[in-house]
Structure 1
């Protein structure tokens, strides 16, 4: 009889349980599920936070560890700057921790040096640092009231020249002043002429044969060569066309053996005409 009651009551219990499940609203089930997810999120956050704080504490200890103290600093690429100068500017010493070092910040500090164009920082673990600098390439020297200064290709002063070792560059002289240096249009024309000469590679007008470019009070440019310092009047513009014409004029003078008897060259005489002045013949003394 009990066996029969069991079989009789079992379907009734299953039906009651099924009825309760069917009666539970969908919203209540979602709320209960969200509650569980929220608890899991709290647990994971606490676990992640503990790991983060633990890692931060370990990193802080390593940043103060003697194991990562810098023992060797190698600086390459110095020409106009010096390793001693850049090391002093960097603020690095044997107490600096290589792990705590911020390469971007060090690069920004060294980049404030007017000679430095780019810096590459390499850390060799656990305690060596390599610094490779690329200096700006001087385009010319400019003669200012305070002395000779290097100019970059944009016409910005880089630093003072050290005489007599730094004289192997064309010198810009004349009507230049510090407040006009960076934006002066004639200065840009002079630098353009030097760039064209450097790129041209002509044996008749090599870059190393340019001695001086002088700016007159009328803002006109005059070129002087090393081998014979007669004036070459360039005018107010130094176009690629004019540069090429000057190369052709010098080529003809050399080929005709007339270079040594030339007194001046006027590149802007009339329109596209070039005027070449000759040295007057010296009268021979009479017996």
Structure 2
């Protein structure tokens, strides 16, 4: 009996030791992954990094290529521009001016800033236009560059219609009574002097249409034959013809009809050769009154 008990205990102890070894192996296996699992994880992250790299590389490669191409084009354009602007084959030798009446060709060229025997490609069209439009004489402009050596400049000038006295100085005005430039002795244009001291803004604004009506109704006197025009609140438009010593008064109310009546009367007086005796003609309220010399 004692031998059995001893053997039983021994076996139990051995079993315990064996179980302890087995449990310890299990614990070690749970906390320390084997080499195969490490390799698997490393391969998984490598695949992810590779996929991300390929994805972003596909995005940034076209962008980088485009940047490189743009830089090459810019550099090439700059070098080409330097080469062309330094080439003597593009020297400016001819400047053709069209449409000038009150400005001379030399004045227009000076205003434009163009200089002959300089490279034609150095000039910018918009800058030339800006230079020319600084002159109050120029209303509109067209510029054309013809390679290798020519500029064509076509201008539309403002037409002076009157001269006005302001602070004892004479100025040219257009048909809208807007200032153009101070009268120059070297460039004097015979035009009627305009007096607007007592006129209202509305009466001054009527002036362009009034002048247009005179020019389109067979008025017997050219505008440059009129010595002065006065816009009067009392008499309307007063005109003085110095060559005939004749004053014309045209009421501003319904002036179109008054001008037609005036033209008809003047034609009749000329036919009868009595116009030289007349000193004043008033056209108002669809009637015409003649005042002869005494």
- When normalised by structure 1's length, the TM-score is 0.70
Which protein is richer in helix relative to its size? 2
Alignment of 1:118-157 (within 5 A): 118-157=140-179
**Correspondent of 2:288 among 270, 274, 277:** 274
Query: What is the rounded CA distance, in whole Å, between the counterparts of 1:236 and 1:197 in structure 2?
Result: 13
Cα 1:232–1:203 shift into 2, 3 Å: closer
Q: How many residue pairs align between the two structures?
A: 247
Q: Report the equivalent of 2:203.
A: 186
Cα 1:52–1:165 shift into 2, 3 Å: closer
**Correspondent of 1:49 among 57, 64, 71:** 71
Shift of 1:114: 1.1
Shift of 1:203: 5.7
Q: What is the CA deviation profile of residues 252-280 of structure 1, one whole-angstrom value per residue up to 9, with x for unaligned ones?
A: 33344432332322223xx4433222333
Q: Report the equivalent of 1:78.
A: 100
8 Å contact 1:220–1:234 — kept in the other structure? yes
How large is the Cα RMSD of the aligned pairs?
Answer: 3.5
Cα 1:203–1:156 shift into 2, 3 Å: closer
Alignment of 1:138-287 (within 5 A): 138-163=160-185, 166-173=188-195, 175=197, 184-200=201-217, 202=218, 204-216=220-232, 220-237=236-253, 239-268=255-284, 271-280=285-294
SS of residue matched to 1:175: coil
Q: Point out the structure with max Rg over C-alpha.
A: 2
Query: What is the rounded CA distance, in whole Å, between the counterparts of 1:265 and 1:164 in structure 2?
Result: 36
- When normalised by structure 2's length, the TM-score is 0.68
Cα 1:113–1:228 shift into 2, 3 Å: same
Cα 1:72–1:204 shift into 2, 3 Å: closer
Q: After the TM superposition, which of the residue ranges 230-239 and 134-143 deviates more from structure 2?
A: 230-239
Unaligned runs of 5+ in 2: 1-49
